[in-house]
Structure 1
Amino acid sequence: MRTIRNIYEAEYRPIADLKTYSPMPTANLRMIDPFLFLNHHGPQKYPPGNRGLPFGPHPHRGMETVTFILDGDIAHKDSGGNKSVIESGGVQWMTAGSGLIHSEVSSEKFLKEGGDLEILQLWVNLPAKLKMTDPFYKGLQKGEIPQVSFDDGKVTAQVISGSLSDRRGAFETLSEIHLSTLFFKSGGVFSTRVPKSHNILCYVIRGEIRINGENIHSLKLVEFNNDDEQLRIEALADSVVLFGHSEPFNEPVVARGPFVMNTVEEINQAYEDFQNGKMGRPA
C-alpha cells in the first residue's frame, strides 16, 4: 500500500461573504506537482437577492483551472468568446495557456433566488513547452460526465480526465492528468493502482475516510510517498473526495498572482502583455 507522507488541514480564508478553505498552497505545503492550488468555497446557503460569487474579470497564463460545481452554479465568460452556466454536479476545464481573461460569477437565477453553494477550484500546471498554447474552455453538466461504480455501488466516481477503471474521462487534456470526484456511502471501499512515479492529489471534501489506518476528516489534504502502486480508501461516513494523480513535471515554478510560469522574466512579460491588451478584452 502507498504510505502517507503528511496530512494537511485547509486554512480558512474567506473572500468577502464567501466561505473559503485553502488546502494548497499553505505555509506547510507549496504544491503537489503538477497540482498547484486548491480552493474550497462553501458549503453555504445564499439568501434571495444575494451578490453571488465575487470572481469578476481577471487574467490567467501558463496553467489550467478545473472547477467542480458541487452545489449552486457558475456563469462563465471569457475573452475567447466562451460563455456557459454550469450547474450542480458539472465541471469546467479552462486552459489559460498564452493568456485570457475570464469571469466566474453566479447566474441571474441564483442571484435572484439564492440557494446552496459549494465549489472547488483546482489549478493544474502546464509544462514549459505548453505554457503558451492556445487558450481553451469547455463546461459540462453532470449528465455529460462519465461515471463508474465500485464496491457494489457503494462508491461512485465522476471521471473528469485521464482514466479510471478503463473509463476515459470527460475532458481530453494536454498532459496526462487523471482527475475524479469520488462519492462514498458509509463503509464503501475504493481500491486502485497508481504508477509509483505519479504524485497523488487526495482531498476530503465531506465526511471521513481511512487510508493505511489513518482516519482523515473533511477539509484535509493527504500527501503520499511514491513507494507503492496500490491505494485503498475506506469511507467511515458518507463522503466526497477529490482524487487525482499525474507524473510530476519537475520544472521550475514561478507563480505571481494569476500567472504561473517558469521564470521571473516570463511573469514580468505576462503582466506586460496583459496591460497591453494581448490577452483580450475583459469578459
Structure 2
Amino acid sequence: MENPITRPRSVERLVAGQATSDGAGVKLTRVLTQDLQRRLDPFLMLDAFRNENPEDYIGGFPNHPHRGFETVTYMIAGRMRHRDSAGNEGLLGPGGAQWMTAGSGLIHSELPEQEEGLMEGFQLWLNLPAKAKMCAPGYRDIPPPAIPEYVDGAGVRVRVIAGDSGGVAGAVRRPDTEPLFLDLHLPAGAGFGQALPAGHNAFLYVYRGSVIVRGAPVADRHMAILGNDGDGVVLQADGDSRVLLVAGRPLQEPIVQYGPFVMNTAEQIHQAVRDYQAGKFAAAAVQAF
C-alpha cells in the first residue's frame, strides 16, 4: 500500500443523498446537501448523476448564473457542452474535468451532446474565501490526458484531479482551500492509503462496488464523511471499486446561500441578485489558472 498511514481516520457518518432534479429536469442525487456545508467546509455541494434514460438528462442545465464559489465537473460517461457569458466553450467527455471559478459572476450552460446512452458524472461546489468571492471569473477545461495518474504497488489506479497523491501533483492546485480530489480505481482486495493534513475536512463517495474504511463498510452510491481523528484515510476494496476522495482546508467563514449565489452576508446576496438582474454578469472577464 502506498502512503502508509499511522492513524487512519474513521467514518463519522454515512450519507445516501437525496434524489432530486435540477436544470431542465435532470435527475440526480444530491449527496452533499446544504445542511452539511458547515461540517464539510469548504465544500458546498456534491451532485452525482448516473442516467441511462435520455429523458432523465436530455434537458441539461440551460443558462444559469453563479457567484462566490467554484464548480468542478467530472465526467465518467457521456458528453456535456459548456458555454458561458465570457465566451468560453468546451466539450466535457469521459474522464475529463472542468474547473470554473464563478467569482464575481458568470452565466453558463451545460447541455448534453448525446441523445442516448449512459450519462454519468459529478459536480462539486467549492467555496471561495471572502477575499476572493468577487475575483475575476476563471475557467479551465481539463481533458483526460491532462489529468495526471499513477498505479501504485497494489494495482490501484489514482487519477489526481487536484492536490497531491503518491508524489504526483494534480491537474489543479487552488490557494486557500487547498483541495484534494482523487478518482480511485481499486481492484478487488486492494488497499490504498492517502495522507490528509490535520484539520482538513474529508469525505469519500463510492460510485462502483464497495469499500471498507477502518472496519466500516461503505456501499455503492454512498458518501462517508471522515472524522478528523487521524493523519489520513485507508480504504480496502471488497470487489472492483471506484471511489472519489475529496478533502480541503476549511475557511471557517459565514456561508449564506441563495440558490446559485454563495456569499458571506445577506446583503451580498441581495447585491448579487441586483447585479444579475442588471445584466452585469454577462460582461465578466475571465482569468486563467
The TM-score normalised by the length of structure 2 is: 0.89
Displacement after TM superposition at 1:187 (Å): 1.2
Instruction: Please state how far the C-alpha of 1:66 moved relative to its aligned partner.
Output: 0.2
Whole-Å Cα distance in 2 between the matches of residues 231 and 148 of structure 1? 18
Match of 1:182 in 2: 184
* Cα pair 1:86 1:92 within 8 Å, conserved: yes
Which amino acid is the alignment partner of residue 27 of structure 2?
Answer: K
SS, match of residue 115 in structure 1: coil
Superposition deviation, residue 46 in structure 1: 3.1
Superposed CA deviations along residues 30-81 of structure 1, whole A, max 9, x for unmatched, are: 451001101111142438xx97242000000000000011100110000111
Q: Count how many residue pairs are aligned between Structure 1 and Structure 2.
A: 274
Distance in structure 2 (CA, Å) of the matches to 1:14 and 1:222: 22
User: How far off is 1:91 after superposition?
Assistant: 0.5
The answer to whether the Cα contact below 8 Å between 1:101 and 1:281 also exists between their aligned partners in 2 is no
Contact kept in structure 2, 1:60 and 1:259, CA below 8 Å: yes
Runs of 4+ in 1 over 4 A off after TM superposition: none
User: Given the alignment of the two structures, is residue 20 of structure 1 paired with residue 28 of structure 2, yes or no?
Assistant: yes
Hey, what does 1:227 align to over in structure 2? 229
Matched with 2:269 is: 267
* 3-state DSSP of counterpart to 1:40: strand
Query: How far apart, CA to CA, are the structure 1 residues paired with 2:279 and 2:27?
Result: 32
TM-score for the superposition, normalised by structure 1: 0.91
Separation of aligned partners in 1, 2:80 and 2:241: 23
C-alpha contact (below 8 Å) 2:51/2:57 kept by paired residues: no
Superposition RMSD in Å: 1.9
Q: CA deviation at 1:224?
A: 1.9
Q: How does 1:147-162 map to 2 (within 5 A)?
A: 147-153=149-155, 155-162=156-163
Q: Which residue of 1 aligns with 2:13?
A: 6
Native 8 Å contact 1:79 1:279 kept in 2: yes
Runs of 5+ unmatched residues, structure 2: 1-7, 285-289
Name the counterpart of 1:137. 139
The whole-number CA distance in structure 1 between the counterparts of 2:99 and 2:202 is: 19
Unaligned runs of 5+ in 1: none
CA distance in 2, matches of 1:130, 1:7: 32
Specify the alignment match of 1:126 in structure 2.
128
Q: Which residue of 2 aligns with 1:169?
A: 170
Aligned: 1:59 with 2:60:
no
**Residue identity opposite 1:156 in structure 2:** R
The residue identity in structure 1 corresponding to 2:31 is P
Residues in 2 aligned to 1:77 and 1:237: alpha-carbon distance in whole angstroms: 39
